[in-house]
Structure 1
Amino acid sequence: MTPEVSPPAPQPLWFILLLALAAAGGAVAYVPFLTVLLPVRIADLTGSDDIAALSYATFAGAIVASFANIGFGWLSDRSGSRPGWIAAGLLLSSALLVAVRYADSVTGLIVVIMAWQLCLNMMLGPLAAWAGDCVPDEQKGLLGGLFAFAPALGALSAALVTTPGFAGDDARLVVVAMLVVAMVAPVLIVGRGHELPRLMQPTAPIAGEPVEPWRSRSAVARMWLARLLVQIAEAALFAFLLFWLRSLAPGYGGNDAARLFSSVLVVAVPLALVAGRWSDRVRRPMLPLAVSAGTSAAGLAMMALAPSLEFAIAGYMLFGVASMLFLALHSSQTLRVLPRPQTRGRDLGLFNLTNTVPSMIIPWLTLSLVPLFGFAGLFWVLAALCALASLLVAAIARPI
């Protein structure tokens, strides 16, 4: 009789919570800065809302971030120790964030931002790979659900540091840096040694031996493309949501849009946690991804057909909640499909391109469609992209 093999012991909940807190710390590092503090700093330097300067700064930073995430992920693969890279990136990026206040020209500011993006991704790339070294497949749904807190905490930190009377412009940078250190440092201090050997064992394809379907090259390609498609839709809505709502109701203000986005977060975060936990229990990791991508497409279709502001807002709520759920759960389930632990950091860096490439696609896509077909034409195209993403992840076999 073959002895029954007991399932491996799961990671303690406190450790997964600290990993999720560190991931949220990454969001706190860039959301307040890129959305609020950087535009304010550029306005201080130029004396106006210089859109061109802001575009140059964000574009240069995005290029550096793309290559740095791949590079430091690869270096953490080669070194065999990720916490050291995370700690170095945390300290250097925090110092450079504070140094932004000393930049006295737009050119100097762009140089500091590029250096900051380099060091920030020294932290973010190895951090994502470290989660893959530590969290077993049986808990990846839970991890993905907890990842949904990252954008919420990023938005909350932006609201906190910009509260009137809370801190001056320079002090806000210090506050953000302190928040990031407080969120990332705990897992580095008490979480070392939680790597699971079975998740780090080098693998290589063996001739004639079948590859697990959810770790095949086609599964990896589908997961990459599906995230890119949903990210394009999400980035387009992030950039043009207010303009579209004002086209339906000219009096719709920025504060109204902020409240709408907050409502999406309130609904999406607990729903992602429930869906991720459910996918762990029933061992259907791809089903929530397929359903949420398909629901995103339905929300975009509602927006394209919206006869009124209320209907439009309902469509956006459906899209916003579903797309946020997809992106949070996708981040953890990507760790499941990557086939080679010895290149996990590099491969996650390649997946990170799905976060930066959309910013290069959206302007072209919008200028091509909106002048000719209006926002409805744009939403129909985005709905088709999300529907395709749903089909791509649905085609990945579930593990047994």
Structure 2
Amino acid sequence: MAQAETGAPPRQSHRFLWLYALAVAGGAVSYVPFLTLLLPVRVTDLAGNETITYLAYIAFAGAIAASIANIGFGWASDRTGTRVPWILGGLLLSCLLLVSVSEAQTPAHLIGLIVVWQLSLNMMLAPLTAWAGDVVPDAQKGLLGGLLAFAPAMGAAAGALVTIPGLADPDARLILVALLVAGMVLPVVLFGKPVPMPHLMRSGAELPGSRRTFRRGAVSRMWLARLLVQIAEAALFAYLLIWFVSIDDSFTDSDTARIFAVVLGLSVPLALLAGRWSDRRDRPILPLAIGAGIGTGGLLIMALAQDLAGAIAGYVVFGLSTGVFLALHSSQTLRVLPRPETRGRDLGLFNLTNTMPSLIMPWLTIMLVPLFGFAGLFVALAALAAIATALLVTMPSSN
């Protein structure tokens, strides 16, 4: 009532924002420990010497399934006009299928299970992502983006937790992951109780709390900018250890994991600060442009690095800046989508920027590294990040 009387824009409750961020982190927990740690062990048990080949098959088939499912279930939740039943259905099915991975007896059986698991997982993730667009006003999207930075860190932390020696055997680890996911996603469904925001469901309306709008073309710029940065991110995720070892052969996978953990942890407060600043100053795109620009610098530092200290410094600069970029981009994308009635489907199309880099990055690496070394790869990735920066800096707004 006070908001209506004073004309103040409606704001979403902090309870919902925090529980929603917890649920999104649960989404990360649902796939990060499994795909990076638990699945390779299972594939090794089943495929032996052909592990690398079957992991490649799984990655390709899983990426295609995830891309299609994210668009499809996003569209389905648009058509039904509700998100929660899809979230709950996807949560239940994906947890059951995750646990059933231990029953796979052949590599082909495992690939089939992973494809169906990806379909069910995105039945949960696509409506969950769109839900934020339905109930979080533009004036709080920076804060939302900062909170979303917790997701990658929680995914990595869950991987460390479930693999503690002696805590659980391989089959029990799958059950533990499923329980963690349910425990993180269910609270927002049961207790989130978001403040209704009917104005966020109207196309072309003058939206309370939405001070800055964007012209035609903003969606394509946001999509392409994220894709370019994600290609660089995917390349570093896949080849960082190999590059570090090429500089210092005493460097281990444990050392790399610690660096990842530090970068992910530090990116959370940075994203929160940047998100709150963007809300207060009504500058939603500027932190994205700065993040992509600093990421470009980090890649150039890596290209010029001659020793391990320089290499680590360059990666820390890149990792922190792009961590902030990706978290805030996820929330500010909701601001530029033009049609609330197709929000879930459109976010599914944006999700292609998360899956396509895994298909593009290996070929880019194969073309560049044999001829120019990792320095050449990093220069090329820096050029992509610089293009992303230019796209964002020159994005036209209508006010």
Amino acid of the structure 1 residue aligned with 2:370: P
Aligned to 1:315: 314
Matches within 5 A, 1:287-302: 287-302=286-301
* CA distance in 1: counterparts of 2:54 and 2:193, whole angstroms: 42
Is the counterpart of residue 276 in structure 1 residue 275 in structure 2?
Answer: yes
SS at match of 2:10: coil
Structure 1 runs of 4+ with >4 Å offset? none
TM-score (norm 2): 0.95
**Cα separation, partners in 2 of 1:218 and 1:5, compared to 1, 3 Å:** farther
Cα distance per residue 1:121-158 (max 9 Å; x no partner):
00000101000001000000000001000000000000
Aligned to 2:208: none
Cα distance per residue 1:160-209 (max 9 Å; x no partner):
001100101000000000000000001111224534100012449xxxxx
* CA distance in 2: counterparts of 1:333 and 1:158, whole angstroms: 28
Contact kept? 1:213, 1:219, Cα under 8 Å = no
Aligned to 2:338: 339
Matches within 5 A, 1:43-122: 43-48=44-49, 50-122=51-123
Cα distance per residue 1:37-83 (max 9 Å; x no partner):
00011111123471001111121111000000000000100000111
SS at match of 1:8: coil
| Structure 2: runs of 5+ lacking an equivalent | 206-210
Contact kept? 1:23, 1:147, Cα under 8 Å = yes
**Cα separation, partners in 2 of 1:364 and 1:213, compared to 1, 3 Å:** farther
SS at match of 2:378: helix
Deviation at 1:87, TM superposition (A): 0.6
| Structure 1: runs of 5+ lacking an equivalent | 205-211
Cα distance per residue 1:20-44 (max 9 Å; x no partner):
1110000000000000100011111
* CA distance in 1: counterparts of 2:45 and 2:215, whole angstroms: 51
337-346 vs 387-396, which moves further: 387-396
* CA distance in 2: counterparts of 1:193 and 1:163, whole angstroms: 37
* CA distance in 2: counterparts of 1:137 and 1:91, whole angstroms: 31
SS at match of 1:357: helix
Deviation at 1:110, TM superposition (A): 0.7
Amino acid of the structure 1 residue aligned with 2:102: R
Deviation at 1:217, TM superposition (A): 3.2
Cα distance per residue 1:67-110 (max 9 Å; x no partner):
00000000100000111111100111011001111111111111
* CA distance in 2: counterparts of 1:348 and 1:97, whole angstroms: 25
* CA distance in 2: counterparts of 1:288 and 1:213, whole angstroms: 15
Matches within 5 A, 1:171-186: 171-186=172-187
Contact kept? 2:218, 2:395, Cα under 8 Å = yes
Contact kept? 2:10, 2:137, Cα under 8 Å = no
TM-score (norm 1): 0.95
**Identity over the aligned pairs, expressed in percent?**
62
Aligned to 1:232: 231
Amino acid of the structure 2 residue aligned with 1:323: T
Give the aligned CA root-mean-square deviation in angstroms: 1.6
Deviation at 1:4, TM superposition (A): 9.5
* CA distance in 1: counterparts of 2:80 and 2:14, whole angstroms: 28
Amino acid of the structure 1 residue aligned with 2:277: W
Amino acid of the structure 2 residue aligned with 1:71: G
SS at match of 2:217: helix
Aligned to 2:21: 20
Matches within 5 A, 1:153-302: 153-192=154-193, 194-203=195-204, 214-302=213-301
* CA distance in 2: counterparts of 1:87 and 1:399, whole angstroms: 39
SS at match of 1:267: helix
Aligned to 1:36: 37
Amino acid of the structure 2 residue aligned with 1:117: Q
Cα distance per residue 1:241-294 (max 9 Å; x no partner):
011111111111111111111111122111111110111011111110000000
* CA distance in 1: counterparts of 2:245 and 2:169, whole angstroms: 32
Contact kept? 1:214, 1:396, Cα under 8 Å = no
**Cα separation, partners in 2 of 1:374 and 1:235, compared to 1, 3 Å:** same
Amino acid of the structure 2 residue aligned with 1:291: I
* CA distance in 2: counterparts of 1:277 and 1:202, whole angstroms: 26
**Cα separation, partners in 2 of 1:25 and 1:58, compared to 1, 3 Å:** same
* CA distance in 2: counterparts of 1:323 and 1:364, whole angstroms: 22
Matches within 5 A, 1:376-387: 376-387=375-386
Amino acid of the structure 2 residue aligned with 1:162: T
Deviation at 1:235, TM superposition (A): 0.2
Amino acid of the structure 2 residue aligned with 1:138: A
